[in-house]
Amino acid sequence: MRVREFQHEGTGLHLNYLGMTNEQMPTVDLRYWVTSLGAIHLRLRYFNISGTRFFRGPFFFNGTRVAGGQTIDTSPDPEWLSLGIYYERRLRPWYRDYEDNWPAWLRKWDLRARFGLKYTYINFVMNGGHAKAVALSPGHETKEDFYHQSMPLPTIGMEAYRRITRNFIFQASFEGNWINRWNSLRSEGGTVWASQNGFEGHARLIYENPQYLGGTRLMTGMFVYYYSQLEDSHEDGNFIRWSSFGPEAGIGYSF
């Protein structure tokens, strides 16, 4: 991460160096099937990511020369969030009649295309926005509201389901977005040009047993996640990027 204010370039700070080495991503996915083929998909996600680090020497952040000799706490204030709304469409009816001529491993996949908008809310703070600055620091604010210039990103994705046994289903999914130097319609010492991109992928094993669990499903798997945002104007030059990966588990219910 690097946050510039006018001519005061920010120090490049790796999130790992700030103690932000672990993250939880609680996510709520809601789908409403408008027809048997099309659904509205709403996703709300909370990023539980923070850390602490003792700095011996000073560094620059958002025009502030932050004093050394203090512990920097990056607990979000408020929390980081993302919200996505998508339209999903089942594709199998388009190719089901041709599957008999395909290799066995390509048959019986239920593919779903997804497209919509995704917005990410990040307010990065150090010690609640009031970390101690050196005496002659040009600024004294130690926070950056990335959400002011964040834009709802056009996002596309794909999901694939395949039944393995009577009770187990394999699911794979990915989605991504990308914009480069779009006018954010905000002004910080001139037009703020926004560049953002992101990607996430999942590989999951789903267990269902209608006889005993009804509409409840259990899920476990692995995920990867990546996000990047750059704001650039005469006054601001703010950049953040993070990635994560690891195991995931969840529970679903269909009715």
Domains of the chain, start order: 2-253 (2.40.128.100)
**Looking at residue 97, what DSSP letter applies?**
G
Q: Which residues pair with 195 in a beta bridge?
A: 230
Asked if the peptide bond before residue 78 counts as cis, ω within 30 degrees of 0, the response is yes
Give the pLDDT means over successive 10-residue stretches in the chain (255 positions).
94 95 95 96 96 96 96 91 97 93 92 98 95 93 93 96 96 97 90 96 97 96 98 94 97 94
The string of pLDDT tens digits covering residues 40-82 is: 999 999 999 999 999 999 999 999 999 999 999 999 888 899 9
What was the pLDDT predicted at 217? 97
HSE-CB for 21 with a 13 A CA cutoff: 5
Distance CA 25, CA 30 (A): 16
Q: For 40-51, b where at least 16 C-beta lie within 10 A, e where not — what string?
A: ebebebebebbb
| Predicted TM-score (pTM) of this structure | 0.92
Q: Is the dihedral of CA 198, 203, 205, 206 positive or negative?
A: positive
Q: Which helix (H) or strand (E) holds 243?
A: strand 236-253
What was the pLDDT predicted at 77? 81
